[in-house]
Structure 1
């Protein structure tokens, strides 16, 4: 006689819940009846008919089946993983090379009228600050750490303030030069390199002071954002004091606005002084980029927020370089006959101011 294996009867209203699900209550009266509910985001279940799902650690995330926890991926502007980083890298290198070439050209032709017009020293300072602005992009690329978080915003703010202060100094030079060309003018005593240098030093020192206060009160630091994007840990820079950050941007915008208004007012001066036209265009580009950048910056997160700021830095720097210096380079290289004091004096009834 064969042995009969007895089995406990199992009464079920539904099939067992598979892994990745948990039991959920139903409105039925039978205790054996339940429904299978998928585990919530960030939770897993690795047994059949589980009563509960278990939350993954902060640095882990469920796999597609919600059966096990897997490490979250780190998200930042990586040199190896992001095509954006490589594009920004190449653009920054090329723009830096062009800026350095223009600076070298201006040094070689430093005694010619086109370079000497409207204060060549200020032009050298402006070119150097534009070059440093292109190079500071590298502080925004790669994995952020505390030191790069502090340096990236400070360097960007200071270098751009020097650049915009130089543009403001060039604009004031144009105004003074035109007024000083009149006989017995009161403005003659303001003509000279010391006045332009003072404008740059004073305006830039205010931005340096803002950055020092920022570092003293609440400096930027590295942080891990684990909640903004599922399955990713965003490595980013916390700006510390957001108020001081926007004060820095606001001051830079104020300098740009003043430069734009002054350059726009004197844009119709005689040809000897038409550097104001190029300054007007450059400040128009500068202001337009930053006005468009602010809403885009506030509406993005993580590496895309950084990408918006990098694009703005590159666009503004390229705008300053192209609008102010490319026309001068064209004259130096392509129209050398126009790069003479005789030509400029003959073209205008006013004497150009050489520094």
Structure 2
């Protein structure tokens, strides 16, 4: 039996089919704790994703081509794709309800942090083969769907900050900075990477003799930063891989580190300054400490929500991977002018 397909023309075309068969039509694709996800929201989201070439590339790469987008009919979308999008919208709504339940504040500052984070989250994986950027993917989404994912990003960040014990407001971040100065301070760092301990010692000796760290980095370092004098920019020390994070965090400003064994080579570090990080960057660092809890959190709030799904779009079912919308395997009997059309072939055959 052919799977139900969601037409490009939107739910209107599906609604016309249902009306012709004397079936009551609902403008809602699903309800989550009493809040509605309209059929037009679902259709608009499907269209926004399908029309965004960069995001389509990411979907195909991430699923290794296993998530079909187009249906088998002309100008249609696969019902499995529609079900995946509806599952996503249900998760969005469930998390938003949790934010409201917790009474979390989502003001201009939270949206500023989300605006900085979202393009990074949408950047394709380096192995995807997709040439787009997260900023381009976001810009190419239709405005209603773009608004939905921007709100979802704000909701995620607000909840993650809450889990870290911090309010995602400017006042909340300022208070955190006052009591956690070391965690809110950046390390403007440069590095020299060489193949051996003796090469590291020789490079350090040149610097102690008066050569600048940048000039030695340009001529001896094998790190990609060599062309910029070894500069890695200003980052939190905690962003370095252990044990490098502790080396950078404890290194006095202006002092070259002792050679540090790392991988198959050796590194020299120089911290040139330690400015206080911008509030949005501090907020991003705070929520990143809770990032590993996000998938479980969304699964939990979704499982606790009261969800109903219009049968035209599927059923809300639980599996080993959690709650999801399972697409219909075909139109229900009531949608067919002739119910006997779904009679199994074997039962319809009369023996000679």
TM-score, normalized by length of structure 2?
A: 0.25
| Greater relative contact order structure (CA < 8 Å, 6+ sep) | 2
Structure number with larger C-alpha Rg: 1
The structure with the greater share of residues assigned to helix is: 1
